[in-house]
Amino acid sequence: MTNSGDVVVATDRLTKRYGKGEGTRLAVDAVSLTVRRGEVYGFLGPNGAGKTTTLRMVLGLIRPTSGTATVLGRPAGGPEVTERVGALIEGPGFYPYLSGRDNLRVMARYRGLSSDAAEIALERVDLAKRGNDKFRSYSLGMKQRLGVASALMGDPELIVLDEPTNGLDPAGMQDMRRLIVSLAESGTTIVLSSHLLAEVQEICDRVGVINGGRLLRESTVTELRGGTLLRVRATPPDKALAVAMRIAGDDGVRRIGPVENGRGPVDDVETLVLSLPPAMAPEVARVLIAEGADIHEIALLERSLEEVFFEMTTPVAATPTVPASVPNL
């Protein structure tokens, strides 16, 4: 055992380089990530970031150029590891001429499970009614669900799902999220790759953000989104700004203009974003009133994972989606 029992997946400077000489391409560059037992780990990155390649190495489907991947305390890809792991990687791969049910039966036989396991899995992803239809006749969403069914057969300790909601309609996505949450509640560790930030934000405990083959950040969703901010709208604007800067400091205030709905500004009251914890809201209100300002709104403002993600993955020179702080007095 190279890891403590709490670590389910650990990679150490995992690297995959394709090609030789000048045509070489670094798909995964020294990724060191850790997945702990019982958590839902979100592996987040744009298309082509290296998510699938990393997961393939974790599953032992491809060999790393350098670095190591350890799963359940053993080198990735050995039979003693694989039999305790369920996976859906880069789209569901099944025999098109077999029915969904028979496809699962085949996989159950590989795992040494009975046909009952296939039946239970089929029920779990709501495919039992279409179980006798050929795999090739399935919609993309149904194929995806069959892939997840195959991954959860035999109650593995770790389930790796590569873009599991790909091709699902909104209802299907919701069902998939519920299924993942229920698996996590039963104690299964789940690694989930996605380019859908809302999805990761909703169901993951921790996330690893990958772009261009490099792991940019690994932390809890809350940490990643950073501290909460206060949104303050008060008039007159110069008085509000002065108060805000006095409490939050010169660098702690951003002016982002009036609040808009879909059709334009709601009113002409300017919005200030203050880098302050929620507990400071009463203090801000007190001082604003003491200075004779009118308060239109004080609210908590949380950054979405999407905003954080784009900040992280967009080159510095590009315009971030969150307006820059330009206090102009």
Partner 1 sequence: MNAILNSARAELLRLRKWPAVWVTLVAWLLLASLFGYVFNYVAYKTGGSNFASEELGNAQIFAALLPENLPAVLVQGMPMFGGALMMVLGAIAAGNGYAYGSWKTVYTQGPSRSAVTAGSLLALTLFVLGVLLATLALFATYTGLIAATEANTIVWPAFSEVAKSFGAGFLVLEMWMLAGYFLGTVARGPALSVGLGLVWTLVLEMLLRGVGGLLGPVETFTQVLPGTAAGSLVGAIASGDPSAMDTPGVLNVLSGPTAAVSVGIYLVVLALGTMLLIRRRDVA
Residues found near partner 1 in the complex (CB under 8 A) = 56, 59-63, 78-79, 82-83, 85-87, 89-98, 102, 105-107, 109-112, 147, 150
- Pick 98 or 322: Cβ nearer partner 1: 98
- Pick 107 or 244: Cβ nearer partner 1: 107
Please provide the size of the chain in residues: 329
Nearest to 147 by CA among 185, 171, 176, 110: 176
Q: Which residues of 170-188 are buried (b: 16+ CB within 10 A; e: fewer)?
A: eebbebbbebbeebbeeeb
CB of 41: closest distance to partner 1 in angstroms? 18
CB of 114: closest distance to partner 1 in angstroms? 11
Among left, alpha and beta (phi > 0; psi -120 to 50; other), residue 145 is alpha
- Pick 114 or 174: Cβ nearer partner 1: 114
**CA torsion, points 90, 94, 144, 191, in degrees to nearest 10?**
-50
- Pick 162 or 218: Cβ nearer partner 1: 162
In Å, what is the CA distance from 3 to each residue of 72, 74, 94, 152, 183? 8, 9, 34, 24, 24
In Å, what is the CA distance from 43 to each residue of 153, 157, 158, 223, 304? 22, 18, 14, 15, 16
- Pick 143 or 233: Cβ nearer partner 1: 143
CB of 48: closest distance to partner 1 in angstroms? 14
CA-CA-CA-CA torsion sign (158, 163, 165, 168)? negative
- Pick 85 or 308: Cβ nearer partner 1: 85
Measured N-to-C along each axis, helices 115-124 and 100-110 cross at an angle, to the nearest 10 degrees, of 130
- Pick 13 or 95: Cβ nearer partner 1: 95
- Structure token digits, residue 305: 């994972």
CB of 281: closest distance to partner 1 in angstroms? 50
CB of 121: closest distance to partner 1 in angstroms? 13
- Pick 115 or 222: Cβ nearer partner 1: 115
CB of 25: closest distance to partner 1 in angstroms? 13
CB of 93: closest distance to partner 1 in angstroms? 3
Strand partners, 217: 209
Question: What is d(CA 90, CA 111) in angstroms, rounded to the nearest whole number?
Answer: 21
CB of 56: closest distance to partner 1 in angstroms? 7
